[in-house]
């Protein structure tokens, strides 16, 4: 029972990390710019206020691929949690949580694709700035979702 609680807690933590990585505006940061998957925040003016602009400097097809796969990773991870909880009550003893594992593996693949495209296509020629915490959280989420996927594929309901 303690193992299942730990798995559910890890899964919820992974979902939160995926959501923060997808929503928060810290994929690329400089002293005056902070970007996310949806827009760019620039520090302008004497009052030092942040102004929102679009991401026109990014190739649109790559940007849409990163946005879509990040959102899909969140959706599949949430869906995998619901399926896992449902399978706790519907699977017979000794059966594996295969469907939960497959959904979690898809979520892992999606966030890996998003972070990989972002790494290879955006900010490759910029020397000013660096990757922010949302980018790092995306890679951490990839590792955690992959570990959960393998765990679900191996995990069996114990027979009493």
| Each residue's pLDDT tens digit, 72-81 | 999 999 999 9
pTM of the model: 0.88
**Nearest Cα residue to 24 out of 13, 10, 35:** 35
Dist CA 28 CA 52 (whole Å): 14
pLDDT category, 46, cuts 50, 70, 90? Answer: low
Alpha carbons 116 and 137: distance in angstroms, whole number: 13
Token code pair at residue 48: 């030092």
CATH number corresponding to 2-27+59-154: 1.20.140.150
Give the whole-number percent of the chain exceeding pLDDT 70.
96
> Would you state the pLDDT for residue 8?
92
Residue 160: what pLDDT?
Answer: 46
């Amino acid at each position: 029972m303690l193992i299942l609680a730990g798995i559910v807690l890890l899964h919820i933590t992974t979902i939160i990390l995926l959501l923060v990585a997808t929503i928060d505006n810290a994929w690329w940061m400089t002293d005056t710019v902070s970007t996310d998957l949806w827009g760019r925040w620039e520090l302008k003016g004497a009052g030092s206020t942040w102004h929102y602009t679009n991401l026109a400097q990014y190739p649109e097809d790559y940007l849409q691929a990163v946005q879509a796969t990040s959102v899909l990773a969140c959706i599949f991870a949430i869906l995998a949690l619901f399926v896992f909880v449902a399978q706790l009550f519907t699977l017979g003893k000794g059966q594996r949580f295969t469907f939960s594992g497959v959904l979690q593996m898809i979520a892992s693949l999606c966030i890996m694709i998003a972070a990989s495209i972002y790494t290879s296509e955006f900010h490759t020629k910029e020397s000013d700035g660096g990757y922010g915490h949302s980018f790092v959280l995306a890679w951490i989420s990839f590792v955690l979702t992959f570990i959960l996927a393998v765990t679900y594929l191996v995990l069996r309901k114990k027979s009493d």
